[in-house]
Structure 1
Amino acid sequence: MRVLLVEDDQFHASYMEDVLAETLPEVTEIFHAMNGEEAEHEARALTIDAVVMDLRMSRRNGIDAARTLWMERPETRILFWSNYADEAYLRGIATIVPEDSAYGYLLKTAPRDRLKLALRAVLVEGQIMVDREIHRLQRRAASPRNTLDDSEFAVLLDLAIGLQDRIIAERRGMSLRTVQNRLLSLYEKLGVDDEASDAMPLNKRVRALNRALVTRTLNIETLETAQRDFDRWQSTRKRA
């Protein structure tokens, strides 16, 4: 098995190489890329069976790199390994993973034994594994009452990159009324309505973005990816 390790921190890279060598005798070669851009080039040049991917990197984040790798080789098994338990990352992964593909999401603070289990489960056995600590942290930050559904999250992404309601409606295949209803719902779930008052009027769109960033429902990498997705959609729209 040939594994590509995508990690921009040398300490973490060395640690992961040691754990891979110790845990998986199936691994014959380990290749190293410093960021998502290098990862895409390495994966094209080499026959890679599995990937361990950091999420937050300069020059192309882990979500964007994984999307490209899966588009070109959907059978690739990827374990995401990150310092961050952002809801935005988990949602981003869920939207790009091909059907029946194996992936995992583990925090870098996980004990060595749990890391070993995740590596074997995802890279060798082809299972889906999300660290229970990630779910625990997300449950602490959000309750079912204020968790955004997929359509609300899609509208939030478009709001965050500055789109008007009519463009959101066109892009998402919704009516204008549906978009406006989704906005009202996400304002409520993000707590924007609770902060507004006659004495202190707020721009709800801006405040919703602020709350989404504070609660890590969105992060910078997710916004960058959303902008690139919109640019691709806009190019297709212009050609149509």
Structure 2
Amino acid sequence: MKVLLVEDDPLHAAFLRDAVDHALPEALQVLLADNGRDGEVMARQGMDCVVMDLQMRDRNGIDAARTIWTERPDTRILFWSNYADEAYLRGLARIVPHGSPYGYVLKTAPVHRLHLALRAVLAEGQVLVDREIHRIQQRQTSVTRGLSDSEYQVLLDLAVGLPDRLIALRRNMSERTVQNRLLQLYDKLGVETAEAAINKRVRAVTRALASGALNIEALRAAETDLHLWLGSRR
């Protein structure tokens, strides 16, 4: 077994290395990349198991994992992060190949839980998501009450500044359907639609950021997708 650690904090990287040595004695080679871009390059050297931080300089963990899985869909990836925002979890759900083993464990989890996750995902090929993340998701969905995929797409389009007409065109909806999705968003995000002085669209994005339904990585990805879509229409 070859294991690649992708982590930009030296102390966390050293901690991870010790955890791998303890949990995976069968690991014949353990390499370290200190950013997502180098992680992509090193994964091409036959690294079948990866432990990936999510937020790093140069290239974040979701983008790096997307590239690795596109090239090597059988790669087993355990995400190890401080973040459990709904936006990160949605981002991961969009990129995991069908049937690929992966896991998600928080850096605040006890070391024995990290050891368990390392063995479950990298050695045994299981899917494992830390139970603390499930608790955080439940707290978040008490605010957002579970945005559907369609509502989430409209929220992203709202965040990048598209008007109803272009949201309808992009998502193949009628403008009336877009307006209904907006009303559902306002309700789930707790935006007071009766308050005329409030810009409801801006308030919805603010509430989504505060609740973790959106984060900076999701907005960056939405910007990239928007430019690709606008380019395809020229």
Q: TM-score range by the shorter chain?
A: over 0.9
Residues 144 and 211 in structure 2, CA contact (< 8 A), matched pair in contact too:
no
Q: 2:211 matched to which residue of 1?
A: 215
Q: 1:65, CA displacement in angstroms?
A: 1.0
Q: 1:181, CA displacement in angstroms?
A: 1.1
More deviation, 94-103/161-170: 161-170
Q: Any residues of structure 2 matched to 1:45-194 within 5 Å, and which?
A: 46-143=45-142, 146-193=145-192
Q: 1:161, CA displacement in angstroms?
A: 1.4
Q: 1:144, CA displacement in angstroms?
A: 8.3
Q: State the AA in 2 paired with 1:155.
A: V
Question: Counterparts of 1:55 and 1:118 in 2: how far apart (Å)?
Answer: 16
How many residue pairs were aligned?
234
Residues 143 and 189 in structure 2, CA contact (< 8 A), matched pair in contact too:
no
Question: Counterparts of 1:104 and 1:5 in 2: how far apart (Å)?
Answer: 14
Q: 1:30 matched to which residue of 2?
A: 30
Q: 1:3 matched to which residue of 2?
A: 3
Q: Give the one of 171, 176, 197 matched to 2:195.
A: 197
Q: 2:16 matched to which residue of 1?
A: 16
CA RMSD of aligned residues (A): 1.6
Structure 1 portions without partners, runs of 5+:
none
Question: Counterparts of 2:24 and 2:221 in 1: how far apart (Å)?
Answer: 33
Deviations 1:17-42 (A, max 9, x none): 11101111221111111111111122
Question: Counterparts of 1:129 and 1:109 in 2: how far apart (Å)?
Answer: 16
More deviation, 164-173/64-73: 164-173
Question: Counterparts of 1:31 and 1:218 in 2: how far apart (Å)?
Answer: 32
Residues 144 and 189 in structure 2, CA contact (< 8 A), matched pair in contact too:
no
Question: Counterparts of 1:6 and 1:105 in 2: how far apart (Å)?
Answer: 14
Q: Percent identity?
A: 62
Question: Counterparts of 1:144 and 1:223 in 2: how far apart (Å)?
Answer: 20
Q: State the AA in 1 paired with 2:201.
A: R
Q: TM-score under structure 2 normalisation?
A: 0.94
Q: 1:235, CA displacement in angstroms?
A: 3.1
Q: 1:145, CA displacement in angstroms?
A: 7.1
Residues 143 and 190 in structure 2, CA contact (< 8 A), matched pair in contact too:
no
Residues 86 and 140 in structure 2, CA contact (< 8 A), matched pair in contact too:
no
Q: State the AA in 2 paired with 1:231.
A: H
Please state whether the residue corresponding to 1:166 is helix, strand or coil: helix
Structure 2 portions without partners, runs of 5+:
none
Q: State the AA in 1 paired with 2:195.
A: S
**Runs of 4+, deviation exceeding 4 Å:** none
Deviations 1:116-145 (A, max 9, x none): 111111111111111110111221233287
Question: Counterparts of 2:205 and 2:80 in 1: how far apart (Å)?
Answer: 26
